[in-house]
Amino acid sequence: MIRTVAMLVCSAVAASAAEPVLIPRPTSVREQPGTLVLAADSLVLAPPELIDSAVATLSAAAACTLKPAPAGSPGRIQFLAANARPEAFPIPQGEGYVMRITPDGVNIHAATPAGHFYGLQSLAQALTTANPPRTLACADIVDAPRFGWRGFMLDESRHFTGITEVKRLLDAMASYKLNRLHWHLTDSPGWRIEIKKFPRLTEIGSRGSETDRRKDAPPQFYTQDQIRELVAYAKARHITLIPEIEMPGHADAAGLSYPEHSGGGFIADASAGKWPNFTFNPAKPETLAFLDDILTEIAGLFPDAGVIHFGGDEVNFGWQHWTDLPDVKSLMQRENLKDLNGIETWFNRRMAASINKLGFTTGGWDEVTARGLPRDKTLVFWWRHDHPQVLRRALDDGYQVVLCPQRPCYLDFVQHDSHLNGRRANGFNPLADVYGFPDSLKELRPGDAPQVLGIQANLWTETTVTQQRRDFLTWPRLVALAEAAWTPASRKDYAAFETHLKVHLPLLRARGLAPWDPFAASLEVVK
């Protein structure tokens, strides 16, 4: 299906292109004389952990059956060790790879399984868009990512996605070499992950959504078995799932389920009941133990995540009642805390220590830079584009950061000026702005590079009732983010990206996704 759709649109583009039609654009492509024509039943030589995936992926891309090479036999396509490459090529490291396309076959050299996997994705894209079919121009490709963190954040609380569509998302992310899915699983509208010790979190807290506040709405959440299934599915595609469990704010679903742990909140809209349990009680020993137990189960479900994100943002929206709580009064006296900021700081340090003791780095939105968390155990997600001083403070204080500012990285923002649904903040987030990030960010200095782990796009789902609208907002801007995260600044070329994207839009549709078409001015999906 992908091959058939691609051939309808790529013939003129691919025939005239100086490079393979690859997104992200590789670090280096050097054309060589000749072509490779890949015949059906060609053999694939790959490490045991890759062979099944390689054969299946390349067979689909080439629209013919390829076969594993028998033991001791060479393959027409070979995945080889890093040090087996010709001496004229650099030794690939980490997620990098070297690909040589010659008239005799394809050799992909890498030092790690991830490097081989990303070489596989590039070869699959080249075969899918090849014209004539299975005919590749000879070339030497040297490739490696610009950033180690190439991410997408999906908000599940406001509107639930579900296991089938998350797998579809992971497949597409892997194809474009994205490697982090930041999974926003809890917030005020809904709690979306099963916690065995506290079943009411899903029996009560998972009901409804941002647009459906009925008490008898059907529960929507991931069971722990589904979580394990998705963690494994992502891992096979070299994607790490990063769980986010919001605290001490954005806690209404949990407070509704276990009101004894509520720290109060606010009523933004009395008819909808938003959000009287916005915070956890930041000082109650039983609440702290409750959160510790939740984090322990989360750590067991995401053993390789490396990071547990605990939110830490916008707490001031609902902390007004904290100083009325007896446990908070006792805490303030005992710890000599002067105000609400002091209480939040104490809570953040307490819960960050719990995350660290579980063996994870604490992830938090950029408000946590004011809370004095350990620099070597904290990852800051800078989201407030209108607070560049917060980014500067985080970097100057020695924190590692992921760049995901509202502009241009929030995909719930409008993507074209003609669109009427979605957010704006003195502007919006067109495709070109996403592609131009982070090189457009004036606050960064050359010496900051070691602390900038990478970039990610964020999709908040208040306005995305349907999967079709989620796709409409995500794609193709996430493709642009993928190239911005992988391709070195010196190789980024928006005109070339647009040319390649015209070929890739049908490939996204063939995956069952519903991207916006910026070239055809397709209609806005409003729900």
pLDDT mean over 114-120: 98
Cα-to-chain-centroid distance, residue 183: 8
User: Which residue shows structure tokens 């806005």?
Assistant: 524
In angstroms, the Cα distances linking 374 to 361, 427, 513 are 10, 35, 41
pLDDT number for residue 14: 39
For the segment 385-406, the average pLDDT, to the nearest whole number, is 97
CATH architecture, domain defined by 2-143: 2-Layer Sandwich (3.30)
How many helices (H) and strands (E) would you count in the chain? 16, 17
Output the CATH code of domain 149-486: 3.20.20.80
Instruction: Name the amino acid, one letter, at 276.
Output: P
Q: What is the pLDDT of residues 25-49, one digit of tens each?
A: 999 999 999 999 999 999 999 999 9
| pLDDT tens track for 500-510 | 999 999 999 99
Q: What is the pLDDT of residue 505?
A: 97
Residue bearing tokens 């497949």? 171
Q: What CA–CA distance (Å, rounded) separates 287 from 450?
A: 37
- Banded model confidence at residue 527, pLDDT cuts 50, 70, 90: confident
pTM: 0.95
Domain locations in the chain as residue ranges: 2-143, 149-486
The residues annotated as belonging to the active site are: 187, 250, 314
Dihedral in degrees, nearest 10, Cα atoms 466, 468, 473, 476: 160
- What are the phi and psi torsion angles at 256 (to 5°)? -70, -35
Residue 413: predicted pLDDT: 97
Q: Locate the DSSP E strands across 174-229.
A: 180-184
Would strands 149-155 and 452-459 be described as parallel, antiparallel, or unpaired?
parallel
Mean pLDDT lowest for which of 252-256, 402-406, 441-445?
A: 441-445
Distance from C-alpha of 195 to C-alpha of 202, rounded to nearest angstrom:
8
Q: Which residues contact 289 (CB under 8 A, 6 or more apart)?
A: none
The Cα–Cα gap between 492 and 516 comes to 22
pLDDT of residue 32: 96
How many angstroms separate the CA atoms of 411 and 461, rounded? 9
| Token output for 29 | 């492509």
pLDDT score recorded for residue 271? 56
State the alpha helices, DSSP H only, in 208-324: 224-236, 252-257, 285-301
**Fold agreement (2-143, 149-486):** no
Q: With beta carbons less than 8 A apart as the criterion, state whether 486 and 114 touch.
A: no
pLDDT of residue 72: 85
